[in-house]
Amino acid sequence: MATPQHSITPPKPAPCIIVHNGALGDFVCAWPALHAIAQHHRIKRAGAPLYFYGHSERGQWLEKLGYLRCTPHVRRIIERLYAGIPTPEFARHNILWFCLHSPPSDAAPHVTPLPALSAGPDMHVTQALLHALHALGIQTDWDWRGAWRDAVGSWHGPDSRLVVLFPGAGHVMKRWPMQRFEHVACALAAEGWEPLWVMGPAERDGGMSPPVGHRVHMPQSYRELVDLLCRVRLVIGNDCGPMHLAAMSQVPTLTIFGPADHRRWAPDRKRLLRADMPCSPCTLTTRDIHCTHTTPDGIPACLDALDTGSVLQMARMQLEATAEA
């Protein structure tokens, strides 16, 4: 009599939760790592759910990479982690947590942190995150720029006359004076370009407004913002999230840097302008800007040193270069 054969069903791989609650610029800088995680998951952990815990609108861009929206159950797991409440549920999930230095809670030591500021002093946060993944055995040499173009968008505005201005930033100490932005806008308008001021809720709530008579647009969603950026000729702005968004979509940009470290936070492969001063950069993050070299109006010396002539000269160079695109 034949011995009955018993098949053993291997256990399903544990779900994986990716946590990223940083600002828009942080998310764009983390895109290559997020893409590498998705590729690794597709190859090594096929069949296991891959969840993204973070801003819901950004999560839409990750769906093409295989990320799922968090279920209420998964959301509760992360919310309890934030609160420092341990539970056996944590052990049944693989959690990768994007952070600056370490996750906000040590209640679950099995959580794998992906710190953006743990590498060398000159390493860009994008490379630092990829370095952290490589140390975990995750392949990182994927075409993440192509994935961004497919999921989010790419520039198609070489014939446009629109020049977008971003006068805002997440921290007041990163904002070049509005009057200088106005001077640049007026000079470009006199040369036949069409300046467009773009502001978001932070600028509106902070009382910022463009000069009287200038065009202004307030996008209602990231999708609307990307669609606008991809059809303009040039974007000029402070060190802020939308500049990263534009640069990743290969839109010509000119970013004005002040206290923040451009070596770590500059937008992808794009042109920036900064003053070479002994005291700049003076911060790793906007959480610890304590500039003691400011004008009576509170403008950091490194931003005050950038005059409108310098910005206009570089903007014109960019506009001329894009004419050949």
pLDDT tens digits, 88-124: 777 778 899 999 887 776 656 678 999 998 777 789 9
Closest to 67 measured CA to CA, from 108, 112, 19: 19
In this prediction, residue 295 carries a pLDDT of 81
What was the pLDDT predicted at 172?
85
pLDDT value for 129: 96
Q: What is the pLDDT of residue 7?
A: 54
Closest Cα partner for 237 from 22, 319, 295, 245? Answer: 245
Rounded Cα distance between 118 and 231, Å, is 37
Q: State which H helix or E strand residue 95 sits in.
A: strand 94-99
**Whole-structure pTM value:** 0.91
Residues of the chain with pLDDT under 70: 1-12, 86, 105-109, 285-288, 324-325
pLDDT recorded at residue 2: 55
